[in-house]
Structure 1
Amino acid sequence: MTMAQKPSAAKTSWSMLKRRYGFTGNKKVLIGLFGVLTAALLGVAAFSQVTHGSVIPRQPSEKAQTDARSEDAAQTNTEASSQLSSQSSESSETERKKKAPSVVVYVDGAVSAPGIYTLSQAPPRLNDALEAAGGPTDEADISELNLAALIKDGEKFHVPAKGEKQAFGQSSPSGTSGTSSEANAEPSLVNLNTADEKELMSLPGIGESMAQTIVKDRLKNGPFSTPEDLMRVSGIGEKKFERIKDYVCVS
């Protein structure tokens, strides 16, 4: 007598699932498609994580590295050259000051701080002396001073005040008592009725144009009777006349 063969456990389980969930016919096909789709989605997700999850930085090329090193070296050389140039300029300026001879001058008159000053500029000029003395005061009249004039050791400079009766811009050489012989001498007066344009231009505040105007007025209106008649000339008022009245005469 032949005994019936006992079904395997796998087949028994599969039979139970088919009866319980109805895995038959078209449902088998759908389940298969679902499984394939799920596997595909899992594969895409895994690939995305591999490609986007970790980014490997791109290494610069050898040429780019060489260019970068060249730029760094050039910048370093430029900075070093600039620093050396600055140091050289400072050194040259220091050497120039050391070589420049010192000049001692005396400045008085209408300046903020009259006194004796040592100038190291090369070459020193009258403007340097005035700056050393604190500059001219509000009452100073520097219109006739040549601020660009070179000065020598031992000179004295007097800055006149407005309206001061004194020759303008005179200085005394080393060893004198304070003023030069020119400054002590009485300045010659300009005759308004006989002076030519050049002589008139020697007066304070009188330029070439004003000198020509004075001569034309004299020819048109006759000689001046008094120095005050000069104010009849267009352009000469009381203020300008006050500056020149002590340097003119009539005859």
Structure 2
Amino acid sequence: MQDYEAILFDLDDTLLNRDNAVDKMFLMILEECYEDVKHSVKLEMLQKFKEFDKRDYGYSDKTRVFESFFEEFPPKYRLIGDNIQDFWNNYFPHCFSISQNTIYLLNAIRKQLKVAIITNGSTPRQKAKILNTNLDDYFDIIIISEEVGFSKPDKDIFELALNKLDVKPESALFVGDDIVRDIGGCQNVNIKGIWFNPHMNKNDTDIKPYAEIDSLDRLLSYI
């Protein structure tokens, strides 16, 4: 088996469960903007909120998500304008938590290898997620797209990480859930990409990951 020097990770939906965070964010919106919603209606509202969030995933401005949701389910207390973005920026990072299994895994890996995060997104929000979950304690470097001026799948962001870690592409692995941004991106610089696919989604692209895992624990078999 090849000896690796570093593992690079995506953040959202890889190290952190974004779906769970969106569920918590939805409950905050209910509390802030609605009153006395029946359970059956809550389920319908949650499904719609997730649809709108997924539609605009990757965009920093979440105004359209809220406005679409409020149009579908008129609230008693409506957030408008800058208040929408402020609400998202202030509360969403606090909706994330890290599993104990992931902490154990990171502790095991960093005893042997250099570790890094490469994440797309707003600098304040991504930093807040990382600080609130104490992930900054486990990584040698953390690269946020807005902060450095380019994003996955751009090869420059991967090359920057390699340079900061002082490792060659063939000595690194990248782990991420997005087959195009993460796996296609890292392959642009000849890093082997491990597709984290816990929901067993179908790969409809021409991108062939080096490996596919449904649990982060399975990473240990590659190092």
Q: Structure 1-normalised TM-score? A: 0.22
**TM-score, normalised via structure 2 length:** 0.24
Structure with more contact order per residue of length (Cα contacts < 8 Å, sep ≥ 6): 2
